[in-house]
Each structure stands twice: as structure tokens, then as C-alpha cells.
Amino acid sequence: MNSPPQQILRDHWRFIGAIAVAFAAVTAVVVIRSPREFIAHGSFLPQGGDASRSRLTGLAAQFGINVPSGDRGQSPDFFAELVKSRTVLDSAVARGDNDSTGAGSRSIELARLFNIAEEDPDVRHDRLIDAVNRRLLVIAGLRTGIVAIDFRAPSRQVATNMVANIIEQVNRFVVASKRRQAAEEGTFAQQRLDNANQELRKAEDSLVAFSEANRIAGAPRLQVDRERLQRSIDIRQQVVTTIAQLYEQARIDAQRRTPSIVLIDAPASLARPLSRHLLSKVGIAAILGAVFALAGLVADDKRTPQPSG
């Protein structure tokens, strides 16, 4: 036989409907019994560079002293990449759920939560980092500078704590980087300050030697030379003062532990359940079930031989 699909649909609508309902029911059971996922959100704003340091750096540049800035490259895109970096995620995963167990136990619990069954600790940790990275969404606002973080997990607590841990590790990384940069700048400034003091003493000694050798005042040439030597001393004194300020600022920054990011949205208590899209999935399953049933009936109808006349 070769009945049209419309005829088959009219003749077997109960069967097709039953298959559609069965598909929908199975899908509903699978979706309902699947683990519920939660999403936690947090955002922060990186703090800008120190204004006093910028002024001192600009003043030093006027005297030909090049002091590298520690804030280069710290754009929103930089922080977005930093959030997903192995350095930050390693530390965030190691902190786990902030419970009283060890970091290794927390890592194992997280691996089980994400269905990672690996006996080798290194392989398990690598796969766990990959799983965290896949569940992590980072958006950098180029206009506002705000970095937003979303993380999905089968546990509300894990999702919330993971976002909090990531933000904490980002802040620690930036603070430690700035402190290292300040320590290096302090070493550079101290060396430059020693050289500047030596140059200042040489200029002062030159003026003293000139004054002792030329005790007769009033000669125009001697007056011009004296003023030139005095100007050299004044310039070197300004250089010494500027470098000394840079050195003191670097020493302060090397001990600074204040946060380098401003928390906009704290992740605590913000994890919300993700929608399972139950109705849409059930509807799609019902449609697919009806299509498969109709296709099977049409194929069976084509294989059925027509009765001889």
C-alpha cells in the first residue's frame, strides 16, 4: 500500500498520540530526576593606579628617570583572562567549599560532584580545572570596566563559594603582583638615589672648590660660572628629592595589603537555580515522538504489499 501521510495520521492518531505522550513522559522523568544546577554571580571593579605614584613618576620622567608603571595591561580584558587563568583556578579549586577538611579532600569532593572519576591526582585535578573553566562565564565591560563572573554547579554552596574564591584569588594575585613590582621599584630607586646623592655631592664640592679658588667677587665671568654651578646643584637637589619620594612610596607600596578590586556584587546568597526548561523539552520530545511514530507507520505502509485486484 501507499497511503498518504494524512490518511495514516487520521487512521492511527491514537497510536501516534500515545507514542508522543510516552516520549514526553520519559523526557519529563529524565529532566526532573537530573541534578538541579545553580548559578552564582559576582562582579568587581579593578581599582586604578595610585595618583600620587603617577605624579611622582611623571615628575621623575622630566629629569630623565624612567620608572616603569605596574598598572600596564590591567584592563578589563586582562582581568577577564586572569579569572580563567590556571593560577587563579588552581587556588580557587584548592579552597573548595571552605570547610574544615583538607584541600585534597575538597578537590576530591568537587571531582565527584562534577562526575570526574580519575584515580591519578594530577589527572583528576587537570580535569577538574577544565570542568570549572567550562562552567565559568566571564564578561568584561569595556565601557564600565566591571568584570562579571557566573559559575554553574550542581550545588548552591559550591557555586557561591567558587565565585567568592575566584574573586578572592584575583585580588590576592593583583596585590602580590603590585607588591613585587613596588619592591623592584624600591630597589631601583635606592640605587638611583645613591647615584644622585653622589652627583649632588660632586656638584657641591665643585662649587666649594670654585669659591675657594676665586675669592675675588664682582668679576662678571666668575659670577656667571658661580650661578651655573649653583643651578647644577639645584637641579641635582630636585632629582634627589624626587627619587627619595619615589623610594619612600615604593617602600609603602611594597607593604600595602589593601584590596586592589572593588566588589560590586557579592556572590554570597546569590546562587539561584537554573531553569530546567521542562515545558519546552517535553514539547519537543512529544513532537519528535509523533514524527518518529508517523515516519514508522509510513515506512511500514510502503512495505505492505497492495492486494491484487
- Asked if residue 17 and residue 128 are part of one domain, the reply reads no
Residues 94 and 89: their CA atoms lie apart, in Å, by: 8
pLDDT score for 53? 53
* Cell numbers placing 250: 615604593
Q: Residue 41's beta-bridge partner residues? A: 150
pLDDT band (50, 70, 90) for residue 101? very low
Q: Residue 45, exposed/middle/buried by CB under 10 A (0-12, 13-18, 19+)?
A: middle
- Asked if residue 297 and residue 186 are part of one domain, the reply reads no
Region 198-218: what's the mean pLDDT?
A: 81
118-151, pLDDT tens digit by residue?
778 888 888 889 989 999 999 988 888 899 999 9
Q: Which carries the bigger pLDDT value, residue 84 or residue 65?
A: 84
Residue 204 in any domain: the answer is yes
Pair 73, 174: CB distance under 8 Å: no
Region 33-40: what's the mean pLDDT?
A: 80
Residue 178 in any domain: the answer is yes
Residues 189 and 208: their CA atoms lie apart, in Å, by: 28
Domain enclosing residue 283, as ranges = 1-34+276-304
% of the chain exceeding 90 in pLDDT: 8
- Asked if residue 42 and residue 10 are part of one domain, the reply reads no
278-306, pLDDT tens digit by residue?
788 888 888 888 888 878 877 776 776 65
Mean pLDDT of the chain: 79
Residues 287 and 20: their CA atoms lie apart, in Å, by: 6
- Asked if residue 30 and residue 164 are part of one domain, the reply reads no
Residue 309 in any domain: the answer is no
Residues 180 and 207: their CA atoms lie apart, in Å, by: 41
Region 104-118: what's the mean pLDDT?
A: 77
- Asked if residue 86 and residue 195 are part of one domain, the reply reads yes
Region 50-73: what's the mean pLDDT?
A: 53
Q: Which carries the bigger pLDDT value, residue 70 or residue 125?
A: 125
C-alpha distances (whole Å) from 84 to each of 48, 90, 245, 252 are 21, 10, 37, 30
DSSP string, 49-100: --HHHHHHHHHHHHTT-----TTTT-SHHHHHHHHTSHHHHHHHHHHTT--S
> Which residue has cell 664682582?
218
CATH code assigned at 52:
3.30.1890
Structural domain count of the chain: 2
Distance, C-alpha 306 to centroid of its chain: 69
- Asked if residue 288 and residue 228 are part of one domain, the reply reads no
- Asked if residue 244 and residue 120 are part of one domain, the reply reads yes
- Asked if residue 260 and residue 132 are part of one domain, the reply reads yes
Q: CA angle at residue 159 from 153 to 164, to 5 degrees?
A: 155
pLDDT score for 71? 52
| Per-residue pLDDT at 154 exceeds 50 | yes
| Per-residue pLDDT at 102 exceeds 50 | no
pLDDT band (50, 70, 90) for residue 218? low
Cα dihedral 95, 138, 175, 163 in deg (nearest 10): -30
- Dihedral (CA of 97, 102, 108, 111) sign: positive
